[in-house]
Amino acid sequence: MLKLGVNIDHVATLREARYRGLALGEPCPVEAARICEAAGAHGITAHLREDRRHMQDRDIWRLREVVKTRLNFEMANSVEIVAIALKLKPEIVCLVPERRQEVTTEGGLDVVGSETSLTETRKRMNDAGIEVSLFIAPDLRQIEASARTGAQFIELHTGQFAEHVADAAKGESELQRLIAGAGLAHSLGLQVNAGHGLNYENLAALNRVPHLVELNIGHSIVSRAVFTGLSAAVTEMLGLMKSYRG
């Protein structure tokens, strides 16, 4: 069964647009996590960025208390955030690149160029009982390097696929990259997640990508929730995922 991890960062983004710098405010990402789990989500994803533009430290610690499924902690490979993760002890961390000028995480990690430091962080996390995923483009060299780090998972960046899915030729090309990447990762012993730009319209095309374990979806679900409510938005996404056969 294909699992759904709901990224609740954009709930915090909405809160911070009005209550930046304040200890209280709405909507509450922790309450969002409760609703998502109650609706059937298999995990909750949250990214504590170095600039704290959406999720705040208090959110992360409260999530650790209330999440009953699986807390996926997205993070940069920085000294400060690594230390927080080791204390937080989520079930899994997903190491992602961060650039201050981006609106949300764009592009994947350069594992080839950072293999030594990522391997060291992977060891520290695994020693603490935390699984590790690396957020990467479906590039074969990056997948091979990810396997060499000893990571348990990769998360394939589906942003290019999502951007070009409406163009038959470009969409098919990006889909083939994901298919090849997932196949290689599986052959190397990596478990495969995917995320970025996935929504209610383009999800069906992803059924052709083999070996997927979990999809991490945030913006589309939070956007749909504006009109339908969060529980209904999660339920609808889960319904669309039932057709996946892997």
* Domain ranges within the chain, ordered by starting residue: 3-241
Residues forming the active site: 47, 74, 196
C-alpha span between 98 and 107 (Å, rounded): 9
Place of tokens 């478990």: 191
pLDDT digits (tens, 9 = 90+) for 70-102: 999 999 999 999 999 999 999 999 999 987 554
What does the mean pLDDT of the chain come to? 96
Predicted pLDDT at 136: 98
Model's pTM, two decimal places? Answer: 0.94
3-state secondary structure of 19: helix
Task: Report pLDDT digits (tens) over 117-135.
Answer: 999 999 999 999 999 999 9
Per-residue model confidence as pLDDT tens digits over 134-145: 999 999 999 999
Angle value at C-alpha 45, between 215 and 149, nearest 5 degrees:
75
pLDDT band at 228 (very low <50, low <70, confident <90, very high): very high
Question: What DSSP letter does each residue of 148-181 carry, written as one string?
Answer: HHT-SEEEEE-HHHHHHTTSHHHHHHHHHHHHHH
- Alpha carbons within 13 A on the beta-carbon side of 4: 27
Greatest pairwise CA separation for the chain in angstroms: 49
CATH code for the domain defined by 3-241: 3.20.20.70
Instruction: Look up residue 172 and give its two tokens.
Output: 């098919």
Model confidence band, residue 107 (pLDDT cutoffs 50, 70, 90): confident
